[in-house]
Chain A
Amino acid sequence: MSTIAETTSRGQTRRRVRIDGWRWGGRVFLVFMLLYTALPMVWMLLTSIKSGFAAMQLPPQWWPDQPTLASYQKLLDPQNSVGQDFLRFFWNSLIVSTATTILSVIVAVPAAYAFSRFTFPGRNFLFFAVLLRNMFPAVIFLVPLFVLMRAIGLVNTHGSLILTYLTFGLPLAIWLLKGFYDNIPVQLEQAARIDGATRLQAFILIVMPLSAPGIIATAIYSFIGAWNEYIYAYTFLSKNEQLTLPVGIQRFFSENTTDFPGLMAASFMMSVPVVVLFLVLQRYFVRALTEGAVKH
C-alpha cells in the first residue's frame, strides 16, 4: 500500500465520521420526537383496556394483567346511560364537523376559483381581508362572537359552532385552493369551452377533478379543525344533549374522575375518525400543501 492511498482513505473516513455524527444526532432527535408523540397515545390505549383499579396502581402495570374491553363496551352500549351520552356526543361532533366540512368546501371552491381567475374591484383587498382573520388568536373573537350569536339567537345550537368553524377554516382553505387553481392553465377551460362546454361545465368536468387533491385537503383540514375544537363548543353550548365530543368527554368524566379507563377509551375512539381520515387521504394532503410552491 502506498502512503498516498492511506492518506486518502484516512481523509475519507474522517469526513464520513463527521457526516455520521450529524446523521446520528438527527436520528436520536427523531426517535425522541417519535416517543414524545407516540408514548402518550400508547399509554392511552393501554389504560383504556385496564380495569379501573389497575389503572390507579402504583407502580403502574406496564402491561395490563387482565386486559378488558369493558370500557369500550360500556361506551358503545346504547342501553347504558354512559353509552347514551358518549354516542350522542359522537353523533353531535360528526354532524357539526361534517356540516362544517361540506359548507367550507362549497364556499371555498368557488371563492378560490374567483380569486384565481377573475379580476374584480376590491379583489386584492378582499383576499387579504380573508387572511386577516388568521392573524389573530381565535380566543380574541370568543366574547364578540358569543354576543353576536346571542343576538341572532344561535346560542345553544349547532349552527353557532358550524358558522364559527367556517370562519376559522375558510381563510386557509381559500388560500390553499387558490394556489391550486393558479396552477391549472386557463387554456384547459378555454379548450373545454370551445369543445362545447359551458363555463360551469368546464369548471365541473375539467377543473374540479384536477383540483380534487386540494379539495380533499381542504375538507380534511376543516373536518379536523371542527372535530377537535374545544373553547367555542364549551362557550356556545350548555345543554348536555348538544355537546360535542371534546367538551362532552371533559364534562362527563370530570364528574367521574376515577374512571380513567373509560376516559382513555373515549379519547381513543374520538381520535379514530381523524386518524383514519388522515391515513387514507394523507398523500393528497401533502401534495396539496406543497402544490403551488413551485412552478411546473
Chain B
Amino acid sequence: MAHVVLKDLVKTYGSFKAVNEVSLTVNDGEFVALVGPSGCGKTTTLNLVAGLTSVTSGDIIIGDRVVNDLDPKDRDIAMVFQNYALYPQKSVYMNLAFPLQMRKLPRDEIDKKVREAARVLDMTQLLERKPRELSGGQQQRVALGRALVRDPAVFLMDEPLSNLDAKLRVQMRSEIKRFHQDLKATIIYVTHDQLEAVTMADRMAVMNGGYLQQYDSPAQIFAHPANMFVASFVGSPAMSLIPLEASTANGDTVLTSAEGWSLALSQPNARKILRASTNKIVLGARHSTIKLHKSSVPGAIPAKAYTVEPTGDVTFVQAFLSGAIVNISVSPNIAVAPDERIWLEFDQERVHLFDGETQTALEAN
C-alpha cells in the first residue's frame, strides 16, 4: 500500500479544461471518494492517476515515485471499472489470472493466488464460468477479485456500483467497505452518488467544473460545506438555498426576501454577514433544521406547502420561499396537505450563510 499525491494536476482537451489545478493527498490506507456531477472531472482525474490519460501539467506521486510518464502497467495500481471490463473470452479463472500472467509469475503461484482470491470473494464455484454467464453482482465481484489478486499499491474504482440494482448496490457497498477495512487498502473511488461517498469514504473530494471544491471528511463536509455547490450536492434531500438581502436597522441584522418577509439574525450569524462582499446573502438550511408550524409563531415565516412526500420514517414537505425550493422533514404523524398554509422556523444555530456573489460559505472563523 502507498499514499498518493496529486499536485496542481491539470488536464486540458484543446481549450476545454477537464481538470483544473487539483491538489490532494490520499494517505496510506485511506479510502477517498471523488464525487461530483457528470462532467465534473472526477473520472478524468482517476484516469490520470491510472495513466490512461496523459497529464497536461502537474504531478502524480504514488508511493515515492512521480508516475506522470509511467505506463499504467508500471504504476502498481489496480482498477475496477463501471462496466467491470471483464475479458469476455476468458473464464473467471483466467480473468483473475491475467494480471499475474502479465507479471510472469510461476504457474503454481498464480493458481494459489487465484484460488485464494476466489475463496475470499466466495466464488470458487464460479471459476470455470465465462463472464456472460454471471449475474451483475457476480461480475462485479470478479472485477474486484481481479483487482485484489495481485496486491497493488492503490485501488482505483470508477463508479463500480452504478450498474447494479438498488438492493445489490447497498449490499456491495458494505462489502467494499469491509474489503477496505480488512485489507487496509488505499482506495480512490469515483462516484456521482454523494450517498456512496458519504457512507464509504474516510475523506471525500467534491469536484465541480474541473475544480476541487472541498476535500474533507464526510462529517465535516456535511457540517461545514465550503460553498453553495458543496452544500447543495452533499446531503439528500438537498440543502435549501434561499436568496435574500441583508440590511442593518437599529443594531439588528435582518435578511429580507423579495417576497416581503424578513428574518432577524442571531448575533453569531450577524457577525458572519460582516464578512460578505455584498449584501446579497444566501441562506442555506437542511431539511432537518427547519421546523414546520401549522399556525403562526413569532420568527416563523409564512409559506404554502407545495408537495408532500411520505417516505414512512419521515414525511418531506416542499415549499417555495423567495423562489427557491425548501425541503422540510416532519414526523409522519403531522398531517400536511398540499396548498396548506404553513409557518417555517429556521434553527439559527444550524443554518448556513453564503456570500451571494462568491458563493462561498460565511463562517465565523
Query: What is A's interface to B at a CB cutoff of 8 Å?
Result: 185, 187-188, 190-198, 201, 206, 209-210
Contact = CB atoms under 8 A, between A and B. Distances in A.
Interface residues of B, number: 22
Contacts of B102: 195-197, 201
B83 A206 contact: no
Contacts of A206: 87
Contact of A194 (B50, B82, B89, B103): B50
B72 A194 contact: yes
Given A196-B99, A196-B103, A191 B79 contact: yes
Given A195-B99, A195-B102, A190 B85 contact: yes
Given A195-B102, A201-B102, A190 B87 contact: no
Given A190-B50, A190-B52, A195 B73 contact: yes
A148 B146 CA distance: 55
Contacts of B73: 193-198
Contacts of B51: 193-194
Nearest to B52: A190
Contacts of A193: 51-52, 71-73
A188 B99 contact: no
Main secondary structure of the interface of B (DSSP, over half): loop
A210 B71 contact: no
B19 interface: no
Contacts of B81: 187, 190-191
Interface string B83-105: 10101110000000011001100
Nearest to A210: B89
B85 A188 contact: yes
A194 B88 contact: no
B144 to A, nearest CB: 13
A205 B51 CA distance: 20
Contacts of B83: 185, 187
A118 to B, nearest CB: 13
Given A190-B50, A196-B73, 8 more contacts: A185-B85, A188-B85, A193-B52, A194-B77, A195-B98, A195-B99, A198-B73, A201-B102
Nearest to A193: B72
18 contacts: A190-B52, A190-B81, A190-B85, A191-B81, A191-B87, A191-B146, A192-B98, A193-B73, A194-B50, A194-B72, A194-B77, A194-B78, A195-B73, A195-B78, A195-B99, A195-B102, A197-B102, A198-B73
Most buried by B among A193, A196, A198, A201: A196
A108 to B, nearest CB: 21
Nearest to B50: A194
Contacts of B99: 195-196
Contacts of B71: 193, 198
